[in-house]
Chain A
C-alpha cells in the first residue's frame, strides 16, 4: 500500500509538471500565432467616407474600403422595380431588396464575390446586375446571387448617411 501511495504521489507530480509545461507552451505560442491577425493600424483604417453627389442615375463607382472594392450604384427606377418584383422563393439566399438598401436609389455593397473573392463586373450577367468571371456567378440588380457557385448575396457593409450626399462606410 505504501508503494502505491508513493506511486500516486509521483503520478501527481508528473501530471502537475506536464500541465504547467502545457499551459506555458500555449502561452508562449499564442503571441506567435496572434501576431498574424490584423494589426492595430490595419484595423484603424477601417472606415471610409464617400461623397455621392457626383454619381448620376445609372452610374456606379467603386471605392476602396479595407483593401476591398465597394460598389456604390445610383440605381435606375427599372432596376429597383426589377429587384423588388422578384419573388423571394426564387432566391438562393433569400433577402428582400428593401433589406439591402438604406436610402433609394443607393445600393452600397462589398464588391467581392462570395464564392472565392473575385471582383464581379457591373452591368453584366443574366440578371442585369453583376457577373463574376472567375467561376461564373450571376448577381441581380440588388446584388443577390441568382446563378453559379457563389453561396451568398454580395454583402452589405455597415454604413451611415452623414448628410444627404455623404456616407461613411465601416
Chain B
C-alpha cells in the first residue's frame, strides 16, 4: 500500500468517493468478461462509437464558422472550404464521416441479423439500436440540408413533402415542419438546431445500448451462451487491443476517401446554390438512403383504399420499423446462422436484395433495366387524331422491364423475408447440432462440437 505510486493513490482516492474507475473497469476493462471467440465482425460497434465522436468533434468546429441563413449558408460553407484554416479537412471529415457512420452501422446491423444477436435476452438492446438508426437518419438528412445546395434544398423538399401523404392533417404537418409555405429560412434554422441536438441524443441512446449490452454481454459467432470462465477472456487487454487494431484499419480506408476522393460519395449538384425555381433533372438522396427511397418509389398503384403515395411512405417507414418486432418474428431455437443452413442462404439473399434496391433507388424509375430504351407504342396519324378527340383509348406500349418493376420485386421480397420466411424458418428449419459450449469446439471436446469444427472448415 505505502509503496503504491502517486497515480495509483489518486485513482484509489477518487474511486473510493465516486467509483468511476470501477465502473469503467466493468464496462471496458479487465473486469468485463467477454466471449473468447468474437470475430472481427464484433469490431463495428466500437467503430460506430469512434465515428460518433469524430462527427461531434468536427461538427462543433464547423458550427463555429457556419451561418444558418438561406442567403449566407452556402457562402459560409464555401468559406470553410477556402479560407478557414484546415476548414476543407474538417468539412471533408464530417461529410465523409456521415457516410462512414452508415457503412459501419449497416455492417453492425447485418452482423446482428446473421448471428441472431437480436434474440432473447437482447431484444431491448436491439430495439435501442434501431432507434439509434432512426436518429442517425434524421441527423444525416438535416445535416445534408445545411450547405443549402441544390440537392440540399430539393432533397428537403421531396422528403418533407412525404408527410403530405398523411390523410387529413398531411398539409398542416408539412407547413408545420417548414414554418412557412415552402422549404425556406425557418426550415433551415430549425434543421440546424436539431442537427446540433440529435447527435447528443444519440450519445444518450448509446449509453443505454451499452448498458443493455452489459447485462448479458456480447453474443458470439456460435450464438450460444457463455458458460463460465472457460468461455470468456477479459475485455482489457484482449478486445481493447483488437478494437484499436480495427480502428487503425478503419482510419486507413476512411482517410483514403477524405484525402483522395472526398466528393466521391457526394453529389456535384450540391455545389450549386439552392434555387427554389429550378429542380435538378435527377434528385437522388445520399447513398445510405437509396434502398428506402427505392421502396418509397416502387409503390405506383393504390392498395385497397390507401393511395399509392401514402402506401409508399408507409412501406418506407415499415421497412425499418419491422426490425423492431424481429425478435418476436424469429422463433428459431438457434441464434447463429452457422447452425441454420437455410436461414444462412436467406440472409445473403436479403443482403443482395437490399443492394439491388439501393441501385434501383439511384436510377430513374422509368428507365429500362436491360435495354437502352423502352419501345414506344406505334401510333398512326389517324389514331393520334382519334385519341386527341377522345374516341379511342390511348395505345399501350409493349411491356418493358423498368427499374420501377425491379424495385417492386425487391420491395416484395424484403417484406417477404421478414414477415413470412423468418417465421416459417423458425418453425420448420432443421438446424444443426450446437456445440455444448464455446470452449469445446476450440479444445476439441464432445462429438457435436467436433462436428461443428469440421463443418466450419469445410
Identify the A interface with B (CB < 8 A).
Answer: 33, 36-39, 42, 46, 62, 64, 66-69, 82, 85-87, 90, 112, 115-121, 132-136, 149, 151
**How many of chain B's residues have a CB under 8 angstroms from any CB in A?**
38
Which residues of B156-207 have CB atoms within 8 Å of chain A's CB atoms? 157-158, 160-162, 164, 175-184, 186, 190
Give every chain A residue within 8 A of B190 (Cβ-Cβ). 36
Question: What are 7 inter-chain pairs, A to B, with CB distance below 8 A?
Answer: A36-B177, A85-B388, A87-B390, A117-B157, A134-B158, A136-B365, A151-B309
Give every chain A residue within 8 A of B278 (Cβ-Cβ). 119
Indicate if the CB atoms of A37 and B297 lie closer than 8 Å: no
Assess whether B263 is interfacial by the CB under 8 Å rule: no
Q: Which of B251-259, B279-287, B347-355, B444-452 contacts A (4 or more CB under 8 A)?
A: B279-287
Shortest Cβ distance from residue B149 to the other chain A in the assembled complex, whole angstroms: 16
Indicate if the CB atoms of A117 and B161 lie closer than 8 Å: yes
Secondary structure of the A side of the interface?
loop
Given contacts A38-B179, A67-B180, A67-B276, contact A133 B186 (CB under 8 A): no
Shortest Cβ distance from residue B25 to the other chain A in the assembled complex, whole angstroms: 41
Indicate if the CB atoms of B390 and A86 lie closer than 8 Å: yes
Given contacts A39-B186, A118-B157, contact A68 B276 (CB under 8 A): yes
Given contacts A116-B162, A151-B309, contact A62 B277 (CB under 8 A): yes
Shortest Cβ distance from residue A137 to the other chain B in the assembled complex, whole angstroms: 11
Give every chain B residue within 8 A of A42 (Cβ-Cβ). 179-181, 186
Which residues of B371-393 have CB atoms within 8 Å of chain A's CB atoms? 388-390
Give me the 7 closest cross-chain CB pairs, A-B, nearest first: A66-B181, A67-B182, A117-B161, A87-B390, A118-B279, A116-B161, A116-B158
Give every chain A residue within 8 A of B388 (Cβ-Cβ). 82, 85
Chain A, residue nearest B178 (CB): A38
Indicate if the CB atoms of A66 and B180 lie closer than 8 Å: yes
Chain B, residue nearest A120 (CB): B279
CA distance A170 to B183 in the complex (A): 18
